[in-house]
Amino acid sequence: MSTDTPTIGVLALQGDVREHLIALAAAGAVARPIRRPEELAEVDALVIPGGESTTMSKLAVVFGLLEPLRARVRAGMPVYGTCAGMIMLADKILDGRDDQESVGGIDMTVRRNAFGRQNESFEAAVEMQGIAGDPVDGVFIRAPWVESVGAAVEVLAVHEGHTVAVRQGNVLATSFHPELTGDHRVHELFVSMVRAG
């Protein structure tokens, strides 16, 4: 596994997998879809995409990926989650289903669909720490927000008073979808985290 050109998987159970594969490749990584535990074992890092978090958690169990994912995150594998991926990385979920499971990894409480339903989706300029230049274009689709964070969590972006981007160690999460914008700076930040890993 090369640190110069890291191999980064995208959890390919459900959601906007293709867009992340394209953004990671543009950011200098080798990108692969991940559906099985043996594929997870072959990557340096992982992106958990947007999609539907309850469906994603159920499929992670069905495909035998939930426990291997938790183990890799605990062992220090860099992970980046967008939207549903942020929910999957939360230690606590509000407004989730009773049987919903998360991978965990960030000491935060996340509220599902906090910005509203599908027809209330929107785009907004988001100032994000660690991203030079203009604000990133945040695409919020049934997006969560972070209600609270532990002491080890760094808040990277806030929109309308709500935390929408966080980092804890080498785990990064955003409420929004940078993979849908053609601006690869957030993916570049994640690839640099993986290289520094």
Task: Report the alpha-carbon distance of residue 122 to residue 120 in Å, rounded.
Answer: 6
| Active-site residue (options: 19, 101, 179, 188) | 179
Respond yes or no: is residue 154 known to be catalytic.
no
What pLDDT does residue 1 have?
45
pLDDT digits (tens, 9 = 90+) for 79-129: 999 999 999 999 999 876 776 788 999 999 999 888 887 778 899 999 999
Q: Which domains does the chain have, with CATH numbers?
A: 7-196 (3.40.50.880)
| Active-site residue (options: 20, 83, 159, 184) | 83
Task: Report the alpha-carbon distance of residue 37 to residue 70 in Å, rounded.
Answer: 11
DSSP codes joined into one string, 95-122: S--TT------EEEEEETTTT--GGG-E
Q: Looking at the predicted structure, is the pLDDT value of residue 38 above 90?
A: yes
Q: What is the pTM of this model?
A: 0.95
Name the helix (H) or strand (E) containing 140. Answer: strand 136-140
Q: Looking at the predicted structure, is the pLDDT value of residue 3 above 60?
A: no
Percentage of residues of the chain with pLDDT beyond 90: 81
Quick one: tokens of 189?
């930040």
Q: What percent of the residues of the chain are helix, what percent strand, and what percent coil, each to the nearest 5?
A: 30, 30, 40
pLDDT digits (tens, 9 = 90+) for 146-163: 999 999 999 999 999 999
When the pLDDT of each residue in the chain is averaged and rounded to a whole number, the result is 93
Respond yes or no: is residue 177 known to be catalytic.
yes
Respond yes or no: is residue 38 known to be catalytic.
no
| Active-site residue (options: 159, 177, 184, 187) | 177
